[in-house]
Amino acid sequence: MSSVSPIQIPSRLPLLLTHEGVLLPGSTMRTSVDSARNLQLVRSRLLKGTSLQSTILGVIPNTPDPASDAQDLPPLHRIGTAALAVQVVGSNWPKPHYTLLITGLCRFQITQVVREKPYPVAEVEQLDRLEEFPNTCKTREELGELSEQFYKYAVQILDAVSLEERFKMTIPLLVRQIEGLKLLQKTRKHKQDDDKRVIAIRPMRRITHVPGALADEDEDEDNDDIVMLEKKIRTSSMPEQAHKVCVKEIKRLKKMPQSMPEYALTRNYLELMVELPWNKSTTDRLDIRAARVLLDNDHYAMEKLKKRVLEYLAVRQLKNNLKGPILCFVGPPGVGKTSVGRSVAKTLGREFHRIALGGVCDQSDIRGHRRTYVGSMPGRIINGLKTVGVNNPVFLLDEVDKLGKSLQGDPAAALLEVLDPEQNHNFTDHYLNVAFDLSQVLFIATANTTASIPPALLDRMEIIQVPGYTQEEKIEIAHRHLIPKQLEQHGLTPQQIQIPQVTTLDIITRYTREAGVRSLDRKLGAICRAVAVKVAEGQHREAKLDRPDVAEGEGCKEHLLEDGKSDPVSDTTDLALPPEMPILIDFHALKDILGPPMYEMEVSERLSQPGVAIGLAWTPLGGEIMFVEASRMDGEGQLTLTGQLGNVMKESAHLAISWLRSNAKKYHLTNASGSFDLLENTDIHLHFPAGAVTKDGPSAGVTIATCLASLFSGRLVRSDVAMTGEITLRGLVLPVGGIKDKALAAHRAGLKRVIIPQRNEKDLEEIPANVRQDLSFITASCLDEVLNAAFDGGFTVKARPGLLNSKL
């Protein structure tokens, strides 16, 4: 063994006081510099010095906190370590500080402190000579084999000057460390042997942790599930492309540890793939006669809709591979659009699944999320197919007109591929990332209006209008479907309650005003609840009268309590005879149960003075009658419009007043001062009641013109007439939409005459026969004909020819 020359250090060293540990020769550590003395030392010696001698410091362990900037130098430990500053890192935030990387060279002893400020400097005596003892080589080599780390020892080891004294202190510590490392090595060896034994038993299993009894059981179950999943993939009837993807994913799953998040995602994906009905379908029932009977039993009226379903069945019977049509039922709420979809599925013998689209604003709800996202899942179309388990169900896309749009995409645009017969045979969900055939699915969409459906999506659907019901149809629906359903829900029988058709008509006309039957259904439910109370009370009274402890003749006596006070629950009224069955619901019973009528016939009262006319409006809820009121007062010729009117309706008002001003002499219309200039010193106010409801559209033009003509002529508009139509500046009447719904609204309101544009005469064929029989339809091509039909005796001095008054 060759000797090592001692390291020579300067005889005078700057002192770095540290409290973060003890630096030994040969070791390296980082220390923070944030006290004033140490900061001055770093700036003066390390940052400005250029020689090697300037980077050698004397490191002294300091027990007090060196951050304290006391004026006096604290007591110094007499033994320190000469160190070489290897790296200096500094920062000014939040306050100036440095971090030093220092390596210990040798130890020294302080002989004299020669300077205290701005940082301490001392004369030192080097202590280390670095000779080695031969008997320590074996211990040092054994430690080097078992550990690759440097260890820090206590301060007393630093104080040991002679090598023999130092070895006496350090060798017991080394022996203890060696024993600990040997024990750790032995434990690791046992663990490796156990792992090899488990791998030999289960060569297909990858061990990720020390196995235990419960863990083995769980892993066995997971392994069995993977084997079953692989078997399902081999025996499934999925297309070739989907099968290739599944085989690739199952291979990845076998190599994947179960603790990885992607393990669960991949397994869920494969389970979905084998559960999808790639080739599983139901057989359609193609008996058209039975289908017609079933549709008639489930739904009254709706002839056009039922005709379209029967047409599909007939073509399906002749051609087996017919692609499913894309139907869209458009109509007001409560007319049975959703229930018709369920009946169509029942008629065909198919599975039914409803997808509510109201408020959906994320295209991922339709096409799914990509599997790169956490929590990804398939879209509602694929998820619905998984739920029903067949590839040819009836899908009801409910409220397709209420789709939203957001930063997550446009779901209406995502539906374009779903509802396109030329594309949906190859529909690709983002989650599946393989094509699925939707061509055999019968899609039925529902909407209240087509105005909010994007044109591209509307073009892909076959629109079938489902209008509101007439009063006669509502009566039939109530007695065929609604009343039996309510009796069953409330535990009543026809022997306990009877609702005549006259009473049903009173409910329809006086307590509801709607195109559908939802409010009617609720009113019938309220009646059944009131009758249920009476029936239950009658059974309670019968039970009391049948009690043996109630003597004969005492049934009408007041039941007394033990303290002599009367029982308010067991009063004489409680022991009265039960009501006679069945309970007949007449108008007086309606008033007691439902309260006063909500809708009275106020038409004649509202038209008792000039300046009022009745218009017909279309809303997503069905047709409605609309009153228009006008008044005039002294002013500056201004026109005021109120009632939440849209821009189109405001323009119709200006058109009407301009046409009347230009024809004032013809009809002898004057203002309050007798001038033919209707706006001279006169202001006009037009109001549309129900001011909280927004109104717009061009069809109120003829109503506004008639209302203003009544105001300036002082004549009353007929109280049984309503009208609709758009006007031009020349007085022409243009066609409008929603004639059937508007006619039904006039019929519900009890009106007798309806004025419509002449070009809408073709729409009268869609109106039910009983409504056409009760209403007199006047077709008009210009405002002259409208005014002649709206006033008794006509509006001109001489009746104008060409007026068509048809009693249809």
13-48 per-position pLDDT tens digit: 999 998 878 888 888 888 888 888 888 888 888 887
Say how many C-beta atoms besides its own lie within 10 A of residue 26's C-beta. Answer: 12
Rounded Cα distance, 80 and 17, in Å: 10
- According to the model, what pLDDT value does residue 760 have? 94
Q: Bridge partners of 103?
A: 28, 84
The annotation status of 332 as a binding-site residue, yes or no, is yes
Query: What is the pLDDT confidence band of residue 330, given thresholds at 50, 70 and 90?
Result: very high
Q: What confidence score (pLDDT) does residue 69 get?
A: 53
94-98, 195-199, 606-610, 656-660: least confident range: 195-199
Q: Is 171 helix (H, G, I), strand (E, B) or coil?
A: helix
Radius of gyration of the chain (CA): 48
Residues 601-639 have pLDDT tens digits of 566 667 778 899 999 988 877 788 888 999 999 888 889
Q: Note the pLDDT of residue 165.
A: 76
Look up the pTM and report it.
0.63
Q: Output the CA angle 804-762-744, nearest 5 degrees.
A: 85
- Give pLDDT, residue 538: 80
Residue 331, marked binder: yes
Average pLDDT score over residue span 453-460: 91
Q: Is the confidence at residue 153, as pLDDT, over 70?
A: no
CA 595 to chain centroid, in Å, comes to 39
What does the pLDDT look like over 662-698, one tens digit per residue? Answer: 988 888 888 877 788 888 888 999 999 876 677 888 8
**Average of per-residue pLDDT across 567-580:** 47
Read off the amino acid at residue 715: R
Report residue 756 as tokens: 């419509």
Q: Which of 143-152, 166-175, 411-420 has maximum average pLDDT? A: 411-420
* pLDDT band with cut points at 50, 70 and 90 for residue 561: very low
93 falls in which pLDDT band (50, 70, 90)? confident
Question: With 60 as the cut, is the pLDDT of residue 569 above it?
Answer: no
Q: Is 358 marked as binding a ligand?
A: no
Average pLDDT of the residues in 641-649: 89
| More confident call, 210 vs 582 | 582
Q: Is 336 annotated as a binding residue?
A: yes
Instruction: Please check whether residue 705 is in contact with residue 735, taking contact to mean a CB–CB distance below 8 angstroms.
Output: no
Write out the two tokens for 444: 């039925």
* In the chain, % of residues over pLDDT 70: 81
Judged against a pLDDT cut of 50, whether residue 799 lies above it is answered with: no
Token readout for 433 is 């990332």
Interval 304-321 mean pLDDT: 83
Give the confidence band of 574 by pLDDT, cuts at 50, 70, 90: very low
338 is in an annotated binding site: yes
For range 471-491, the mean pLDDT: 93
Under a CB-based contact definition with an 8 Å cutoff, are residues 447 and 328 in contact? Answer: yes
Confirm if 351 and 345 have CB atoms less than 8 A apart. Answer: yes
Active site residues: 699, 742
Task: Output the pLDDT for position 259.
Answer: 81
Higher pLDDT, 643 or 158: 643
Alpha helices in 507-642 (DSSP H): 518-545, 587-594, 603-606
pLDDT confidence of residue 563: 40
Q: How confident is the model at residue 524 (pLDDT cuts 50, 70, 90)?
A: very high
Categorize the per-residue pLDDT at 302 as very low, low, confident or very high, splitting at 50, 70 and 90. Answer: confident
Give the model's pLDDT for residue 291. Answer: 86
62: region left, alpha or beta (phi > 0 left; psi from -120 to 50 alpha): beta
Arithmetic mean of pLDDT over the chain: 81
Q: Which of 56-70, 270-284, 732-746 has the lowest mean pLDDT?
A: 56-70
Which is higher by pLDDT, 749 or 501? 501
734 CB-contact burial (10 Å; exposed 0-12 / middle 13-18 / buried 19+): middle
Please list the helix, strand and coil fractions of the chain in percent, rounded to the nearest 5, in that order.
Answer: 40, 20, 40
Contact at 8 Å (CB) between 759 and 710? Answer: no
* The pLDDT of residue 222: 63
Cα–Cα distance between 190 and 365 in angstroms, integer? 53
Residue linked to tokens 């005014």: 787
Query: Does 549 score more than 70 pLDDT?
Result: no
Angle between helices 261-275 and 213-235 (to 10 degrees): 40
Angle between the 303-318 and 337-348 helix axes, to the nearest 10 degrees?
Answer: 30
Which whole number is the average pLDDT over 54-59? 86
* Of the listed ranges 64-73, 171-180, 249-258, the one predicted with least confidence: 64-73
Least confident of 377-381, 524-528, 534-538, 774-778: 534-538
